[in-house]
Amino acid sequence: MGASTKQGYDIATKSREIIRELIGDDIKDLKPAEKDIVERIVHSTADPEYAKLVAISDDFVDAALKSMKNNETILTDINMVKAGITQYDGEVCCYIKNDEVKQIAKENEITRAAAAIRYACQNDFEGIIVSGNAPTAVWEAMDLYNKGELNVKAIVGVPVGFVGAADSKEELRKSNIPNIITQGPKGGTPIAVACVNSLIQTLRGI
């Protein structure tokens, strides 16, 4: 789980054992790759509640792995999420600081996170969207997808916050887009990153 030295590996192994004790029951019906994702989320937050909050659509893992196998783009809502995604062979993008994105946000009175999705859509984006922060990014992605304009293969939708986050995730869960979400206000960067890095590890193990 990201370890690269003997001491690091020992810590990761012991941590994995503790996590399996804590959440084994909650995840016993999941597929192996899904179990890995949830275990890694709990590892990166030390918060076993996530085993109860994570919901994964049946088609999510296959859709995400297929996209990643083709080295399609991973688009993140904020740079913190981008910084955490390591060892991906394709491109990991974040447009939140892009000048055109700032302009789109200003002109349309939308958040920069939403504007960044719109910008990606206008620039031939194809791949996976990962939102660890902004519900408005998830809303925008669903809106563009429903209009048939956004070529998104899967969404990691785990934005965090007391305002709008839970609703956006519930709506994503009901959509036809392969998705992983966390129910309720909780979520965030480490959850998003843990999910993607777990998938990368699964992909490399194939």
Catalytic residues: 43
The span from the CA of 190 to the CA of 81, in Å, is 8
Q: Is residue 189 near its own copies by the rule CB under 8 A?
A: yes
Residue with tokens 């109860």: 52
Q: Looking at 66, 185, 201, 203, which residue binds its own copies (CB under 8 A)? A: 185
**In 46-134, where does DSSP find H-type helix?**
50-53, 60-69, 79-84, 99-108, 112-122
Q: Is residue 106 near its own copies by the rule CB under 8 A?
A: yes
**Cα–Cα–Cα angle for 12, 79, 166, rounded to 5 degrees:** 80
Q: Token pair for residue 172?
A: 């994503």
Q: Is residue 110 near its own copies by the rule CB under 8 A?
A: yes
Fill in the per-residue mask, 8 to 27: x = in contact with its own copies (CB under 8 A), - = not in contact.
Answer: x--x--xx--xx--------
Q: How far is the CB of 66 from its own copies (least distance, A)?
A: 27
Q: Which helix (H) or strand (E) holds 192?
A: helix 189-205
Q: Looking at 26, 52, 184, 201, which residue binds its own copies (CB under 8 A)? A: 184
- Residues between 42 and 71 with contacts to its own copies, criterion CB under 8 A: 43-47
List the one residue out of 152, 18, 149, 128 whose CA is nearest residue 65.
Answer: 128
The contact set with its own copies (CB under 8 A) reads 3-8, 11, 14-15, 18-19, 43-47, 78-80, 82-84, 105-106, 109-112, 136, 160-165, 184-190, 193
